[in-house]
Amino acid sequence: MDEDYDVIVLGTGLTECILSGLLSVDGKKVLHLDRNDYYGAESASLNLTQLYEKFRPGEKAPESLGRDRDWNVDLIPKFMMANGEIVRFLTHTDVTRYLEFKQIFGSYVVYNKGTKVAKVPANETEALSSPLMGIFEKRRMKKFLEWAQKYNDADPSTQQGLNISVLPMHEVFKHFGLAADTQEFIGHAMALHLDDDYLTQPARDTVEKVRLYAASVLRYGKSPYIYPLYGLGDLPQAFARLSAVYGGTYMLNTDAQEILYNDQGKVIGVKTAEGVARAKQVICDPSYAKSKAKKIGSVVRAICLLNHPIPGTADADSVQIVIPQNQIGRKHDVYVACVSSAHMVCAKDYYLAIVSTIVETDKPAEMEIQEGLKLLGPIVDKFVSVSPLEVAAEDGTNDQVFISRSYDATSHFETVCDDVHDLWKRITGEPLILKKKEGQEETA
């Protein structure tokens, strides 16, 4: 342990593991520690014993739930956009070879004042029969989607006079004459915005998100999402394996007792029960550097065990359901993500549904997600938790301690990838360029 490293990473959350993988490939000598005896930190997948131990210390899992090893319960479930940034990380680092993916059957949205659930159409046939819009509105929606698809900065003839760098999104909606319900559907079920701030911001961000959604749907056909067999817990591990291949050292069950600094306040290493490890840089999640993180909110999540598919979803083995804020009088959307034994995350005939949102009131946390819980039908068991949303108070350039963001309430990985890019830039001073490999284009 008494050794010198380039970087010490604390906590094996996905963000930290992607970074230690990329830094190792880049030739850095990396030491990676975690206080837990499993990979993944906040983003771990737990078996039954670990799940009960975490939420109900002292209580054993009922035998009716079957074998421990059949369960891999994500603490923070997120789906991957088939064309999203996380998939680029995986393919460019070859980490995909440790993993197998399965398509998520469908993406659903709640409408009609929160009372009905409908599939987000994934192709024209589905769109024509969708109850979400009337016939004329469908035509207007089609025009908008075609415009978004074709929009090209270099070609004014594709722009219809709309400059998406400056024009706020609500003006674009107005241009296409889209009704409030359709706007909400595009903003929340396709672009996956968590709140309505996007309406007054330049349209580019939303247009790009809609394009990502559409391109991802095209890739597999039913929904834009894929999900790894055996749960998300295998993702951090896959990046950890990559790091190890390039000489990275991993130690679980090893806490950082203290982060050590020199007289100038710059980091010099980490103290553990095994001794002191020295390094000029430390990367960690907020739980390892409490005094340097600040809380910006809380996320409530309920992990629900079901023995049936979610009602109204055509018996799908996996779905996402978005409940847009306005449907239920909130300021943030409620998300439901459901996977099942088809994804090797629970025993046969079981389903795992996780309901999450941002906390808005002082009421008991479960009240915040009740509209999501209502959609699930009978629940076998339920584990509710509230986690702080934390970010670094400083960017880390002064003390060389770089703190990642907590995982937010979004149901996909795009914000996690933004954090990886942002941290990389702060750590190395350079933008992250995924290295070119045989037969691949170099991309920023």
Ligand X SMILES: *[C@@H]1O[C@H](CO)[C@@H](O)[C@H](O)[C@H]1NC(C)=O
CB of 165 to ligand X, least distance (A): 4
Pairing between β-strand 275-284 and β-strand 293-306 as defined by DSSP bridges: unpaired
Subset of residues 207 to 226 that bind ligand X, contact rule: CB under 6 A: 222
Nearer to ligand X, 104 or 279 (CB): 104
How are beta strands 80-81 and 381-392 bridged, if at all?
unpaired
Minimal distance, residue 406 CB to ligand X, in Å: 34
Tell whether residue 201 is a contact of ligand X (CB under 6 A): no
If one asks whether residue 131 binds ligand X (CB under 6 A), the answer comes out as no
Between the alpha carbon of residue 185 and those of residues 161, 196, 226, the distances in Å are 24, 12, 21
- DSSP, collapsed to helix, strand or coil, labels residue 24 as helix
Among 163, 200, 397, 440, binds ligand X (CB under 6 A): 163
Told to check if 195 binds ligand X by CB under 6 A, we report no
Minimum gap (Å) between residue 206 Cβ and ligand X: 16
Size of the chain, expressed as the number of residues it contains: 444
Determine the Cα angle at 75 with ends 186 and 326, to 5°.
Answer: 30
- Other beta carbons within 10 Å of 16: 29
Q: What tokens does 272 get?
A: 């553990």
Q: What's the closest the beta carbon of residue 283 comes to ligand X, in angstroms?
A: 36
The only residue of 125, 152, 264, 291 in contact with ligand X, by rule CB under 6 A: 125
Closer residue to ligand X in complex, CB, 83/356? 83
Q: Decide: 188 and 411 in contact? Cβ < 8 Å.
A: no
Nearer to ligand X, 208 or 381 (CB): 208
Of the listed pieces 21-29, 160-168, 344-352, 372-380, which binds ligand X according to CB under 6 A? Answer: 160-168
| Nearer to ligand X among residue 159 and residue 428 (C-beta) | 159
Beta-strand pair 106-111/381-392:
unpaired
Interactions with ligand X, residue window 239-258 (CB under 6 A) = none
Indicate the residue type of 375. Answer: L
Distance between CA atoms of 387 and 293, rounded to whole angstroms? 14
Query: Which run of H or of E encompasses 386?
Result: strand 381-392
For ligand X, the binding residues (CB under 6 A) are 122-123, 125-126, 156, 163, 165-166, 222
